[in-house]
Amino acid sequence: MSTLERDLKSPTISKLNELCDVMKVHPLTLLTLTYADDSVYTTDQLLAQVRQELDVISQAGSK
C-alpha cells in the first residue's frame, strides 16, 4: 500500500478492485475522488461529464 501512496507503483484494475473491496467502496468512487483532486472540476462537474460521456457511448453502441 505504501508504494501506491508514494506513487512508486500503479495498481492494476484487479488490484484496484481488491483495494476497493477492503475499503468497501465502488472502484468508480475512488477513481472519481482521484480525478476530482487532480482536476479543475468539482466532483459534481466530473460526474456530470462522466454521465454525458456514458450516454454518448451507450447511444453509439446501440446503433
One digit per residue, the tens of pLDDT, for the chain of length 63 reads 777 778 788 889 998 999 999 999 999 898 888 877 766 778 888 889 999 999 999 998 776
List the one residue out of 48, 24, 25, 22 whose CA is nearest residue 36: 48
| Number of domains within the chain | 1
> Residue 13 belongs to what domain range?
2-61
Check: pTM over 0.85? Answer yes or no: no
Contact 31, 25 (CB under 8 A): no
Task: Give the CA angle between residues 42, 9, 25 to the nearest 5°.
Answer: 45
User: Which three cell numbers mark 28?
Assistant: 468508480
Q: Is 52 helix (H, G, I), strand (E, B) or coil?
A: helix
Contact 19, 11 (CB under 8 A): yes
